[in-house]
Structure 1
Amino acid sequence: MDSEKEKVDNESTKEKNDKNSKTEDESNTALVKNVTWRHFMFFFIHMIQAVGSSIGFPVMSQYLYAKLNKEYFAAHNISIFTNTSNQRLGKCFVNTSSPEYKMQQEVQAINAQWSQWFSFAHGIPTIIMVLLAGSWVDVIGRKTVSLMNMSTHIIKFVIYSICMKFNLPTAFLVIGYIFEGLGGSYYLGILVSFAYTSDITPKNHKRAFFLVAVQNVYQILWGLTNLASGYFIQALGFFWPLIFAIVVNIIAIIMFIIIVPETIETGKLTDISPRKSLERITMFYTRKRQGKNRSRLQFWLCLLAFAALSQSVLGEFNLDTLFVLNSPFCWTPIKLGNYGAVMAFSSPFLTLITLRLMQCFLTEELIGCISLGFHIMRCVLKAFSKTDWMIYLSGLIGSPGLLSFAMIRTIVSHLTDPSEQGSVFAGLGTVEALCGMTSSVMLNTIYAHTLLWMKGFVFIVVAISCVVPASLLLGLHFVNKKEKSKTNVELSLDTNTTDSIASQEPEPTLNPAVNAAFEPIDKTF
C-alpha cells in the first residue's frame, strides 16, 4: 500500500511539474510561432531608413545654424562666408574680446530659441498621436502604423529642401516639424519597433539583448553614414544630401510594403476610437488586479522613472551639435561626421559588453540605475571640456549611459501580455514625447541664458537631473523583488495544499463490503 501511495504521489508531482513547466514555457514563448526571414526584414528596412535619416538630420541641424549665422551677420553688414566650397557654416571667431565673437554667441542663443519653437510645433502633435496611435498598433497592426510614421519623415525632408531651394524664411521650417509630429515622430517609430520585437522574441534575457543589439546596429549605420554626410555637405552643400535622404526613405517604404508581414490579427476600426485607445493605455495604471507577479505600483514606478529619464536627457541631444560648432571647438561638417563615426563604432561594442557583464549579476532595474552613472560622468566631463579629445572621451564614457531606456521598456514588456505590448509602449511613448518637448524647451532656455558665462552649465543640470530616475529604478528593484517573493510564497502554499489533499487516504466505513476494498491485496498464492 505504501509503495502504491508513493507511486501516486510521484505521478501527481510529475504532472504538476509538467503543468508548471508548460505554463512557464508558454509565457516565455513569442507571440509569432513561426518567425521567418521576412519578419527580420522589418529591422533591415528600418536600417535602410536610418541611413537616409542619418544624412537628413545632420543636414537640417547644420543648415539651420548656417542660415541664422548668415542672416544675422548680413544684417550687420558683415560677411562670414567666402566663395570657396569648403566653408558651409561660416567663419568661427575664437577671439573672445572681439565683437564678432559676441555676435556669434548671440546667433547660438537665437538658434536655441528657434529650437524651442520647433519643439512645440513637433511635440504637441506628437503627444496626441502617440497617445492615440500608440494603442492602434494592437488593433490596426504594427505595419500600418509604421508606414504612417515613415511617411511623415519624408514630408519633413521635402519641406526643408523646398526652403533651401527657394531660400524661404526660417518660420516655414515649422511646417515640417508639424507634419513629423502628426506621424508620431521618433517616439512612435521606436514604440512600433519594440512592439514588433516583443512579438517575435521570447520573454526572457534574449529580448533585452536583442532590443539593445538592434539599437546598436542602427547606431553603427548612423555613424557610418554620418561620416559620409560630413564630406557630402562639405562638397555639395545642404540641398543634394537632403534629396539623397528623401530617395533612400522612399525606397525603404516601398520595400516595407512588399516584404514585411504583419504579426497580429487586426481588429475592427471601431476599436481605434479615442475613448478605447485611452482605456487600453491607462488600464495598467488604474485596474487593481494586474495578475501574477505584477502590480500597479510596478507600472507606476516604470512610468515615473521613464518620465524623469526623458525629462533629464532628451533635450540634451539637440545641444550636442550646437555646443561644438563655436569656440573653442569650431567643428566643421567633416569633424562632426568623424565624431559621429567614432561614436557609432565604439559605443555599440562598449554598450553590449557592459550589458552582457551586468546581466550576469544584476537585474534590469539595477542595470538601468548603474548605466545612468555613466551618463552622469559623461555630462560632467563634457561641461568642462575645452579640447576635442575631452569631447571624444566624454562620448566613450557615456556609451552605456542610456541603457536605462531599453531596460525600462524590457521590464514593462515582461509585465505585459503579448496582446497588450503596443498599448503599454504607447503610455511610455506619450510620456517620452511630452517630456522630450519640455526637456528641449527647458535645456535650450538654460543654454541660451548661460552660454556667455559657462557654456557647459546645461550639462551640469542634466547630470544632477539623472539622480531622480536612478533613484526610481533602485526603488523599482526592491518592489519587483518583493512581488517575486510574494508570488513564490503563493506558489509554495498552492503546492503544499495540493500535496496534502493528494496524501489524504479515504477513511474506512462501517460497511464490511466497502472496508474490504481498503484491505491490502494478498498477492501470494
Structure 2
Amino acid sequence: MSVNERQPLIVNTNKIVSRTFKCKHFILFPTANLLFFGYVVQFYVISQWIHNVIQKKANHQGDGGPSECSLSNSSDPRFISFQNVEKRTAVWQLYFMIASSLPAFFATAILPSYSDTFGRRFLFVFSYSAYLLKYILCGLTIFYEWHLIWLIVASFLEGITGSYFTVYSGCYSFIADVTEPGRQRTLVFTLFDGIQLLTLTLGGFVAGYFIEFQGYFVPMALCTLIQFCAWVLALIFLPETLQEENICDVTSVFTNLKRTVDFYRSDEFSGKRAAYTLLVLSIFTAEMAGSNRASIELLYQLGKPFCWPSQKIGLFSAARHAAQGLAGICLITPLKKCLSEVSIAIISNFSNTASFVLEAFAKSDLMLYLVPVPALLGRLTVSMSKSLMSSMTDPDKQGSLFASITAVTSICGFTAPFLNNAVYAATVTFFNGFIFLVLAGFCLLGFTLLLIFAKTQQVKTTGETIEKVVSDD
C-alpha cells in the first residue's frame, strides 16, 4: 500500500454546484417503475409457465396442491415425478436467467459509461426497446405454446442491452445529476428504492391473481402494453440531466472500460481506493444474497412442505417487498438523524441475515409469512453504499461509477441464479432451506466489510461543502 493511501485524504472539497430535484425530474419515477412492474409480473408468469409446461411434458398428473405435499414415500412414482419436475424447472429457470445475465455483464461494463458522453436518456430508450421486443416474443411463445427455447432467445434480447442493470445505472446517474451529495442524495436514492419495492409488491400481488384466474397469456399481454407506455415516456417526456459542462469526449470502448475500474486501481484515486473497494464489495455481497431471492423463494414455495398456489406466492412477495419499501421510505429520515449511512448499512445486513435464517428453517405457512418482519431494513445496504460512493465522486464520473457498480451487480445477476439453483437442486431432497443459510453467509460477509469500512472512514458535512475523509489506518 502506498504512503499516500495511508494518509487521510479530503475528498470533494470543492464547492458543490447547486442541484435541484425539480418537478420535471419526477417523471423518472413512473418511467422506471412501469418497467419494474412489468418485469416482476413477467417474471412470475414465465417462471410458473415453465413449471406448467414441464409438468405436462412429464405427464405429471398432480396439481402441486396439498395432497401432493403429503407424499413421503420416496419410491412412490408420484413422489419421484414431483421432485423431477422441481429439478427440471430449476434448470430451465437457470438457462433463462443466464441467457440474460451473461451478455448483460459485458453490456453493463460498457454502455453506462457512455451516458457521460451521450446523456442519460439514451440508456432508457435503448434498454426499453429491448424489453418491448422480449415481452412480445414471450407473449407469442405462450399463446402459440412454442418450445421453451424461444424464452431463452427472448431473455438474450434483454441481456444484450444490459438488462435492468443498465436501467438502474441510468436511474442513479439521473438522480446524481440533480441532487447534492450527502443527505439529499441519500434520501432520493432511498425514496427511489422504496417506491421500486412497492412497485414490486403490487406486481407480485397482481401476478398471483392474474395467473390464477386469467392464465398466462393475459398477464403477459399486460406486461407488453405497460412496457410500451414506459418506452413512450422515456422517448418523449424524460428530460436529459447531464449538464453540458460535464459531458465527456467520445472515447473508445477500451477507454470506457478503463474508466469503470479506475476507482479501484488508478493513482488518480489514491487514498480512496480502499473505500471504493470495501463499498463495492458490500454491494456485491448484498446483491448475491438478494438479486435472485424471489426466484429461489418461488421454487421453495412451490415445493414441499408448502406447495403454495399462485395467490399465496403473490401475497408473500407483496408482503416482503411492501415491508421493505415502506420501511425504507418511512424510516430513512429518522434513521439519518441519529445514524450514519454506514451504520444503517450494517444494521441492514444484520436484518437480512436474520430473515434468511428464519426462512431456512420455516416449516409452516405462519413461519414463512414472518420472514418479511426481520427483512424490514434489508434493502438499505445497497442504497447507503451507492450514496456514499456517489458523494465521493465528481459529476463527470458519475456514469462511470454506476457503470462499475452495475457491472458488479450484473456479475451477481449471472452468478447468483447459477449458485442458488445449483445448491437448491442438490439439497432439495434432504434440506430444501439450505440455500437460505448460504445467502445468510453472504450477508454476514457484507456485515464484516462494512465494519472494516466504519473503522477506516469519517464523514463531515459543512454547509455547501462535503468533506469525506478516508484512511486505511
Choose 174-183 or 227-236, whichever is displaced more.
Answer: 227-236
Say if 2:404 is the partner of 1:420. no
Whether 1:288 aligns to 2:267 is: yes
Of 210, 217, 237, the match for 2:195: 217
* Contact preservation (8 Å) 1:94, 1:101: no
Q: Counterpart of 1:246?
A: 224
For 1:200-279, list aligned pairs within 5 A: 200-265=178-243, 271-279=250-258
- Distance in 1, matches of 2:419 and 2:197, equals 26
Contact 1:302 1:473 in 2 (8 A): yes
- Name which of 52, 56, 80 aligns with 2:62: 80
What's 1:29 paired with? Answer: 18
- Per-residue deviation, 1:24: 6.4
The answer to whether the Cα contact below 8 Å between 2:99 and 2:159 also exists between their aligned partners in 1 is yes
Work out the percentage of aligned pairs sharing the same amino acid.
24
Q: CA RMSD in A?
A: 2.7
Q: Distance in 1 between matches of 2:468 and 2:102?
A: 44
Among residues 79, 101, 104, which one is paired with 2:79 in the alignment?
A: 101
Equivalent position to 2:150, from 151, 172, 194: 172
Which letter does structure 2 place at the counterpart of 1:39? Answer: H
Say whether the 8 Å CA contact 1:379–1:459 is kept in structure 2.
Answer: yes
Cα deviation for residue 480 of structure 1 reads 1.5
Deviates more, 1:421-430 or 1:231-240: 231-240
1:265: Cα distance to partner? 4.5
Q: Give me the whole-angstrom Cα distance separating, in 2, the residues matched to 1:228 and 1:480.
A: 44
Instruction: Give the total of aligned pairs.
Output: 451
Over alpha carbons, which structure has the higher Rg? 1
Instruction: Give the secondary structure class of the aligned counterpart of 2:429.
Output: coil
- How far apart, CA to CA, are the structure 2 residues paired with 1:445 and 1:55? 24
Secondary structure class of the residue paired with 2:110? helix
C-alpha separation in 2, matches of 1:145 and 1:42: 13
Match of 1:59 in 2: 45
| Equivalent-residue separation in structure 2 for 1:393 and 1:205 (angstroms) | 32
Deviation at 1:268, TM superposition (A): 8.7
The 8 Å contact of residues 458 and 468 in structure 2, kept in 1 or not, is answered as no
Normalising by structure 2, report the TM-score: 0.88
Deviation at 1:439, TM superposition (A): 1.8
Is the Cα contact below 8 Å between 2:116 and 2:247 reproduced in 1? no
Q: Does 1:44 align with 2:30?
A: yes
User: Structure 2: which 5+ runs fail to align?
Assistant: 1-11, 462-466
2: CA distance between counterparts of 1:460 and 1:489?
A: 36
* Residue 489 to residue 445, structure 1, CA distance change in 2 (3 Å): closer
Who is 2:141 aligned against? 163
For the 8 Å contact 2:198–2:325, the answer to whether it is kept is yes
The match for 1:377 among 308, 332, 354 is: 354
Superposed CA deviations along residues 34-86 of structure 1, whole A, max 9, x for unmatched, are x53222112122223333233222111111111112212x2xxx4336xxxxx
Aligned pairs for 1:108-147 within 5 A: 108-147=86-125
TM alignment of 1:288-327, pairs within 5 A: 288-290=267-269, 295-327=272-304
Q: CA deviation at 1:272?
A: 4.7
Letter in 2 for 1:136: Y
**CA deviation vs aligned residue, 1:250-281 (integer Å, no higher than 9, x gap):** 01211222211101157999725211211221
Residues 433-448 of structure 1: pairs in structure 2 closer than 5 A: 433-448=410-425
- Which of 398, 403, 409 is the aligned partner of 2:375? 398
2:172 is aligned with 1:183: no
Q: Confirm or deny that 1:199 pairs with 2:181.
A: no
Tell me, yes or no, if the aligned pair for 1:315 and 1:441 is still in contact at 8 Å: no
TM-score (norm 1): 0.80
Q: Deviations over 1:396-439 (max 9, x none)?
A: 21121121111111111011011211101111111111122112
Q: Check whether the contact 2:195–2:325 (CA below 8 A) recurs between aligned residues.
A: yes
Aligned residue number for residue 478 of structure 1: 455
Displacement of 1:147? 1.1
Name the CA distance, whole Å, in 2 between partners of 1:274 and 1:195.
19
The Cα shift of 1:178 comes to 0.8
CA change 1:235–1:217 in 2 (3 A) is same
Cα distance in structure 1, aligned partners of 2:77 and 2:394: 61
Q: Deviations over 1:128-182 (max 9, x none)?
A: 1100002011111110111111222222222221221222222221111111111
Structure-2 separation of matches of 1:126 and 1:349? 30
Equivalent residues of 2:262, 2:269 under 8 A apart: no
Query: Which letter maps to 2:369?
Result: Y
Which residue number in structure 2 is paired with residue 460 of structure 1? 437
More displaced stretch, 94-103 vs 207-216? 94-103
Q: Equivalents in 2 of 1:198, 1:369: separation in Å?
A: 23
Distance 1:489 1:244 in 2: 49
Structure 1 residues 273 and 92, CA gap change in structure 2 (3 angstroms) = farther
Residue 468 and residue 171 in structure 1: after superposition, are their counterparts in 2 closer, same or farther (change >3 A)?
same
Partner SS, residue 456 of structure 2: helix
SS at match of 1:355: helix
Could you report, residue by residue, the CA deviation over 1:185-217 in whole angstroms, capped at 9, with x for unpaired residues?
A: 121111111111111111121211211112211
Asked if 2 retains the 8 angstrom alpha-carbon contact of 1:285 and 1:300, the reply is yes
Q: Which amino acid aligns with 2:210?
A: F
Q: Residues 341-400 of structure 1, C-alpha deviation per residue, up to 9 Å, x if partnerless?
A: 333433322234443343233222222122111111111100111111211211221121
Query: Whose RCO is larger (CA < 8 A, sep 6+)?
Result: 2
| Cα separation, 1, equivalents of 2:242 and 2:290 | 34
Match of 1:500 in 2: none
Q: Is the 8 A contact 2:47 2:93 kept in 1?
A: no
Go from structure 1 to structure 2 and tell me whether the alpha carbon gap of 1:342 and 1:268 turns closer, same or farther (over 3 Å shift). closer
* C-alpha distance in 2 between matches for 1:461 and 1:417: 37
CA distance, structure 2, for counterparts of residue 214 and residue 394 of structure 1: 23
Question: Contact 2:288 / 2:416 at 8 angstroms: preserved in 1?
Answer: yes
1:99-143 Cα deviation digits (max 9, x unpaired): 313321221111222233223321221011100002011111110
Whole-angstrom distance in 2 between the partners of 1:377 and 1:140: 43
Quote how far apart the aligned CAs of 1:481 are: 2.5
SS for the counterpart of 2:323 is helix
- Once the two structures are superposed, the pairs formed by residues 358-373 of structure 1 within 5 Å of their partners are 358-373=335-350
**Letter of the aligned partner of 2:342 in structure 1?**
E
1:234–1:345 distance in 2 versus 1, CA, 3 Å: same
Q: Determine which of 48, 60, 68 is the counterpart of 2:54.
A: 68
Task: Tell me the distance in 2 between the aligned counterparts of 1:413 and 1:232.
Answer: 40
How far apart, in 1, do the equivalents of 2:214 and 2:157 lie?
27
Secondary structure class of the residue paired with 1:249: helix
Partner of residue 6, structure 2: none
Q: For 1:41 and 1:450, how far apart are their aligned partners in 2?
A: 45
